[in-house]
Structure formats: structure tokens, C-alpha cells
């Protein structure tokens, strides 16, 4: 039985899957199994996997789409290793990822998981150094030192400094929290790390760049945004932090997420739901301009609401993520 289980959930990305798989097969550490769980991809994913000649690969194909979180869970439940990592089908591990993270878990029995920093790559799998640097600063990874993370609840919930795709876990600690919550679909990685922090698990940070995370072109649809925000409200509502300062931050974050979801509901035409959430957010955030704008827009015709909100988003300065995605779009991929 392999010591490490590597899981790559995939759906309709056969053009990137080989890159992800090869990053595992090319590891300097070899005692692993690779589980590819396919959520009913309608493309040539089965043919791509059939062409991968390595007896460490196990392929789980669901004939019908069962959803992102359940597909991830199928890989977790099939795993047999003491250590476990899941990363997406368009991302990759650098060659020494397993060697370096396994060593830390082997030598530190009190550590439950180890997370590294990661590169940002574009659609052509090229590392984007400027975006990588900005990403490191944006998520506070530059403040983390090598070693045990002292304030794991703050780092997972408030700063969101850790990335599940660049984290090797002890299987036992994931089993303890029942791994991914299907109700958190869309923000299940964030939720998993917070729940581990809430039961006082111990995380270790490696500042080395040992994983590659891909930014894509294209925009997220309104439906996808709604799905994500609804899942995030569900997650934040269910946390309770013993640290009173962080608990106050949780209440503010919940109200901000409710506000964002309310605005999206109004943009979609679900007016009553949107007004209810915006009114609820005012109890914590007070009389904010965003809330008042949303309530005002809710009395306008739907097409006019959507036009105004689209123009507001276009006025917002582009951050490093949008710059990489814009570059991808302009290259006619």
C-alpha cells in the first residue's frame, strides 16, 4: 500500500489533465498512488487517462455528473495512503513537493498538515512572477514563517493564507472532520481548513513555491457567483470562534457576504431575497453605500439594474488575477 494518496478530481479538462498527472509522476518521491476521479466528463478524458501508462494510477469514472464536492469525496474515500493531497486538474505540483512535505510529516508527529507557497501560472503553463508575488502578499503568505502556524484560525478564516491544493494532510485528520462538506460546494477548500483549525489541528507552513495554480481567462457567470456566495454564507454561519476578536470578524464577514449575495440576487431578479439579505446585513454593517445602492436598484427594471451593476464593476481597477485572465483571453485560447 502506498504511503501517499494523490487525488486529482477532473471534469472536462482533458487538455490540461496530462500536465497535472505528469507533475505527479515526475515527483522525486515515488511511494504514492494517484487517483483520478472523473465527474462524467463528456470530452476525451477517458482516452487521455487510458494513454497514461503507470501502475500507480487508479481511475474512477462516474458515468453521470455527481457534482464537484461529491467527486472530490469519491477520491478521498478510495484513497489508501496515510497522507493525502487533492489538487485540481489544471494545476500541478513541482517535482520536490511530495519529498519535502512527506519529510515534515514523518519527522513531526504532532503536525497534521503541511502547506507550501505556490506559483501562479497562465493558460500556457508559464509561471507569472509578478502575479505570484502579488498573490503571496495579497493572502499574507509573506508574513508566515517556516514552521508551525501559531494562529491557524486567523490564517484560515480571516487571512485565508493557505491553499488546499498545495497542502499534504494526514488522512486521519481529514477523516476526523469527514473531509469535504457537500453543502460547502464552491468554497469547500476554505471550509475544510477552517474546520480543521476549529478542532485545534496543527498546520505547518513551507514558504517554498512547490505547487502551480492556474488562472484562466473568461468570467464567472452570475449563477456561479450566486452558488459560491450561498455556500459561503452557509459556512460562515456555522462557525463559532473562541477568540472573541475573531468571532467579531466572523460576524462582519458574514454580513459582507450576505450583502454581496443580496446584490447578486437583485441583479438576477430575485428581488425579495435580495432586499431581505441587504436589510439583514445593515444590522452589522450599518448604513452602507453598497447596501443603499442595492435597495435603490431593486426598484428599477431588471435590465437597467444589470446594466448599472455591470458599469460599476468595469470602473473597479483590475487586480493581478484579472490581468492574468485578461492576458489569457487576448491570446484567443
Q: What is the pLDDT of residue 217?
A: 62
The set of residues, in sequence order, having a beta carbon less than 8 Å from that of 130 and lying 6+ positions away, is 320
Q: Which pLDDT belongs to residue 236?
A: 98
Q: Can you give the pLDDT at residue 333?
A: 31
Q: CA-CA distances (angstroms) from residue 52 to 13, 46, 49, 59, 86?
A: 15, 10, 5, 10, 19
pLDDT at 219: 55
Task: Look up residue 59 and give its DSSP letter.
Answer: E
What pTM, to 2 d.p., does this model score? 0.93
What is the C-alpha separation between 132 and 57, in angstroms, rounded?
A: 31
Domains and CATH numbers, the chain: 4-214 (3.90.550.10), 222-330 (no CATH)
Rg (CA), the chain: 21
pLDDT score at 157: 98
Contact status, residue 254 vs residue 233, Cβ threshold 8 Å = yes
What pLDDT, on a 0 to 100 scale, did the predictor assign at position 114?
A: 99
Residues of the chain with pLDDT under 70: 217-220, 320, 322-333
Q: What are 93's strand-pairing partners? A: 211
Per-residue pLDDT tens for 72-101? 999 999 999 999 999 999 999 999 999 999
Half-sphere exposure of 313 (CA within 13 A, CB side): 14
Amino acid at each position: 500500500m502506498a504511503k501517499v494518496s494523490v487525488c486529482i478530481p477532473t471534469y472536462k479538462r482533458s487538455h490540461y489533465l496530462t500536465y497535472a498527472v505528469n507533475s505527479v509522476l515526475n515527483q522525486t518521491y515515488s511511494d504514492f498512488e494517484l487517483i483520478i476521479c472523473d465527474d462524467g466528463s463528456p470530452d476525451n478524458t477517458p482516452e487521455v487517462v487510458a494513454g497514461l501508462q503507470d501502475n500507480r494510477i487508479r481511475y474512477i469514472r462516474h458515468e453521470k455528473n455527481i457534482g464537484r464536492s461529491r467527486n472530490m469525496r469519491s477520491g478521498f474515500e478510495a484513497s489508501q495512503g496515510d497522507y493525502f493531497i487533492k489538487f485540481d486538474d489544471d494545476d500541478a505540483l513541482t517535482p520536490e513537493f511530495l519529498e519535502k512535505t512527506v519529510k515534515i510529516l514523518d519527522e513531526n508527529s504532532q503536525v497534521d498538515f503541511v502547506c507550501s507557497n505556490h506559483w501562479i501560472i497562465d493558460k500556457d503553463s508559464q509561471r507569472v512572477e509578478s502575479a505570484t508575488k502579488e498573490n503571496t502578499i495579497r493572502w499574507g503568505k509573506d508574513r508566515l514563517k517556516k514552521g508551525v502556524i501559531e494562529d491557524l484560525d486567523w490564517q484560515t478564516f480571516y487571512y485565508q493564507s493557505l491553499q488546499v491544493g498545495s497542502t499534504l494532510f494526514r488522512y486521519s485528520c481529514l477523516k476526523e472532520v469527514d473531509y469535504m462538506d457537500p453543502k460547502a460546494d464552491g468554497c469547500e477548500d476554505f471550509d475544510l481548513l477552517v474546520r480543521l483549525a476549529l478542532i485545534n489541528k496543527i498546520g505547518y507552513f513551507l514558504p517554498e513555491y512547490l505547487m502551480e495554480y492556474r488562472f484562466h481567462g473568461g468570467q464567472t457567470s452570475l449563477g456561479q457567483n450566486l452558488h459560491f456566495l450561498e455556500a459561503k454564507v452557509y459556512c460562515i454561519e456555522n462557525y463559532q470562534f473562541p477568540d472573541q476578536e475573531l468571532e467579531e470578524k466572523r460576524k462582519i464577514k458574514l454580513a459582507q457576504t450576505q450583502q454581496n449575495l443580496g446584490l447578486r440576487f437583485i441583479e438576477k431578479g430575485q428581488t425579495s431575497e435580495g432586499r431581505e439579505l441587504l436589510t439583514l446585513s445593515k444590522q452589522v454593517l450599518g448604513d452602507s453605500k453598497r447596501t443603499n445602492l442595492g435597495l435603490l436598484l431593486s426598484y428599477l427594471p431588471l435590465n437597467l439594474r444589470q446594466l448599472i451593476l455591470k458599469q460599476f464593476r468595469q470602473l473597479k481597477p483590475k487586480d493581478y488575477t484579472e490581468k492574468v485572465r485578461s492576458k489569457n483571453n487576448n491570446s484567443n485560447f
